Amino acid sequence: MLRGAGLPGLARRRDDAVYSIFGAAWFTDPGRLFPLVRRRLRPGGVFVFSQPPAIPGAYGPQGMYKGGFAGKAMFTYRYSYRPAVRERLLTRAGFATAGAQVLDAPHPGHIGTLLVRAVAP
């Protein structure tokens, strides 16, 4: 794990923006990730992420297998919540504002995209 050793100021550096495209914000417990991202942002900094929207009725952490169904069992978790819950999780983590919406897919009946934006105070 990089802790800034040999790179002066890296551990204290603060960023203007952090983004995740179908990545860490989907596969990391938001109760752990969101406060870490918030602390990393400068005042007014933006955290933006996208992922598939939650399947209706299937909210919270959900296990999934990685690498197919053959061989050694490997698994991970993904975290799916309704937009309003994402907003609450972000404001509880210290963000000044948070907005989340599901963008419709270009073709009817296809999977849309959850797009979330939060701003540090």
- Is 58's pLDDT higher than 70? yes
Per the structure, the count of domains in the chain is 1
Where residue 69 sits, what CATH number does that domain have? 3.40.50.150
More confident residue, 81 or 64: 81
Specify if 3 maps to a domain: no
Nearest to residue 96, comparing CAs of 71, 118, 70?
Answer: 118
Whether residue 40 lies inside any domain: the answer is: yes
Residue 3: its pLDDT value, please? 38
Give the pLDDT confidence score for residue 67 in this predicted structure: 75
Q: Print the SS3 string covering 10-48.
A: HHHCCEEEEEEECCHHHHCCHHHHHHHHHHHEEEEEEEE
Q: Which residues contact 71 (CB under 8 A, 6 or more apart)?
A: none
Q: CA–CA separation, 16 vs 14, rounded Å?
A: 7
Whole-number pLDDT of residue 11: 60
72 and 44 Cβ atoms separated by less than 8 Å: no
The candidate with the shortest Cα–Cα distance to 49, out of 95, 110, 1, is 95
In a domain, 63, yes or no: yes
Tens-place pLDDT, residues 66-89: 877 778 888 899 999 999 999 999
**Residue 22 phi, psi dihedral angles, 5° rounding:** 50, 45
Residue 10 domain flag: no
- Asked if residue 7 belongs to a domain, the reply is no
| Domain limits for position 101 | 15-119
Is residue 36 in a domain? yes
Q: Is residue 9 part of a domain?
A: no
Q: Inform me whether the pLDDT recorded for 1 exceeds 80.
A: no
Q: What is the pLDDT of residue 105?
A: 96
By mean pLDDT, which of 6-10, 13-17, 91-95 is the weakest? Answer: 6-10
Rounded CA-CA distance 72/44 in Å is 45
45 against 9, higher pLDDT: 45
